[in-house]
Structure 1
Amino acid sequence: MTAPRRSTVSHWDDLLGHAFGLLLGRPLTEFDPAATYAVFHYDDETAGEALGALDPAELVAEVSGPSEDRGGAWLGPERWVPDLTGSAFVAKSVRPAALKALLATPADSGPAVVFGRDLGRALLEGALRRDELSPDAFRLYPVLLLRPRTDGSLLDAMRAATFTMSAPNGLTDIEETLARHGYLQPGASAVDPRWEPVLNQLDDDALRRHLRGLCLNAHLARSAGAYYLGPGECPADLQPIADLPGSTAIAGWEFGEGQGATLVVAVKDPHSR
């Protein structure tokens, strides 16, 4: 029983590794194998209120292991196992004085970035009060940039970013959905022309259809799927992560009309601090 299972996993590792290399413009083996790769996600519906709903103990609860698919029909963060210790909180328009000792950014200007682990410890130890993080009723808490649990490899980060954690299970066909609801004419392509020839190199039909839904043109990506910015590109809402010392943007996606964004990034891992 175990041998066939290992064979299946290896087969999909190979398929996904090849697909991700095409999307990134070079094989995964050409990226630094010693680096830590992570995913961060911005969701405008929850990002500014998340801290108010979290128990500080959740921010220091260690998680480890590879990505995992919690299921669901949509390509969204509910399918991930969250890693709140490694997630980032960003104060963009206000820099509460209470954050100063916790900053991951050395500069006095620009967004204030604090990792969940440090914020949770300060709250639990009483060094920081939650009301200090929202100075008045018109200002939100620091914005959550959610990090899903992954094992630190580029392969697993790309799995999480593309919602292929349980492939071949959990794959979608967003183009078919768009056509069924009248947003796309039968036989027409919804894919950004930049990525059409890239995705056509994939032999597995289900995987190709799934990834096409994450490479839609900018117009159709407003209503479903995602718009792939490309290798080395970072969505604006996640720029504070890419700007951290030791960080390098690997690939970025945008969802809707600015409502969401995902970044794969090589990081100086806050877990190691």
Structure 2
Amino acid sequence: MEGWEQLLTRELQRFLPEPIGDHPGGGRYALYHWDDMLASEFFAGGDLDRLAALAEPQSCVVAASGTSGTGWDRWAFDLGRSIFAVDGAETIEALAGRPAADLLAAAHRSAGRAVVHGVELARVLRRHGIALEDLAEDGVTMPIHVRVVTDGSLLDALRAATGTMDQDGLEPVDPDAEVDPRWQAALNGIADAELRSHLSALFLEEDSARAYGGEYCGAHWPSGSGPIRFAAARVVAGWEFGEGQAWSAVVELATEHWPPTT
């Protein structure tokens, strides 16, 4: 590995109970993200062809937009493997009747929710001649839990989650933010000052996470992440942002859902 990857492996290891590079079972890892603004933006300008396709796994460094920080605008999305909650499909006018019934028939159960992959949603929309924009016109959109394009390794999912694709993309934590005391010692051990400041924004105490970054959940599911649990064998690292406006989860994928059936 190059120097930056070696540094990240060593420093991100501080926040995990397991070795990043030691996965003899050949596990596949992924990053999922939910944000309360994603659905409205996606359905207003989405591309049905992209929804119907499975993105080729590749490093998030290659797929990244080149901007800085930890926002979702840095990522490339694998829309075909993203997960949509369809519990309320019948309440969306464009889906009323047979389309909603077809979606629910194709749905998986996940922590009590009915969900489909993007490829499954695209299949139903095409069958009934429904455009993504038709769903946006109702002002009611189904939640989307985006799968971020990564190469399947735990390190790549973690660096996507933490916005550490490269050194140029690091941003300092807000000076008013308060780090969660549980993670202060681990952060203090990071010798690289820019990386330490950048990562600090993802290990904040609850009040600071509402405005300045994220609160780390460790190997616990973020609040509201039920729709992705059917696709995961377990969660490795999770974060919550704002006042319930967003979360991210790095998971080990369940074998039967890599990739979803097409």
TM > 0.5: yes
Q: How many residues align?
A: 245
The equivalent of 1:262 in structure 2 is: 248
The TM-score with structure 1 as length reference comes to: 0.80
**Counterpart among 219, 238, 243 of residue 225 in structure 2:** 238
The Cα of 1:163 is off from its aligned counterpart by 0.6
Matched to 1:100, the amino acid is L
Partner in structure 1 of residue 189 of structure 2: 201
Q: Does 1:55 align with 2:55?
A: no
Q: Which residues of 2 match residues 108-257 of structure 1 at below 5 A?
A: 110-124=112-126, 126=127, 129=130, 140-165=140-165, 167-174=166-173, 178-179=174-175, 183=176, 190-230=178-218, 232-242=219-229, 244=230, 246-257=232-243
Cα 1:116–1:272 change in 2 (3 A) is closer
Q: Which amino acid aligns with 2:236?
A: I
Greater strand share, structure number: 2
* TM-score, structure 2 normalization: 0.83
1:59-106 CA deviation, whole Å, 9 max, x = no partner? 02342211132133442111001111111101345674221332233x
**Letter of the 2:103 counterpart:** L
Tell me the residue number matched to 2:60.
Answer: 67
SS at match of 2:67: coil
In structure 2, give the amino acid aligned to 1:67. Answer: C
CA distance 1:55–1:245, change in 2 (3 Å): closer
Instruction: Give me the identity figure in percent.
Output: 34
Q: Give distance in 2, aligned partners of 1:226 and 1:148.
A: 18
Show CA shifts across 1:123-177 (max 9, x none).
23x157469x96x957x33210011100011010001100111x21201111xxx
Aligned residue among 34, 44, 47 for 2:36: 44
Structure 2 unaligned blocks of 5 or more: 91-99
Match of 2:77 among 58, 72, 82: 82
User: Structure 2: how far apart are the matches of 1:62 and 1:137?
Assistant: 27
Two-structure CA RMSD over aligned residues (Å): 2.6
Aligned to 2:4: 12
SS at match of 2:244: coil
- What stretches of structure 1 of length at least 5 have no aligned partner? 1-8, 185-189
CA change 1:267–1:58 in 2 (3 A) is same
Name the aligned partner's letter for residue 237 of structure 1.
G
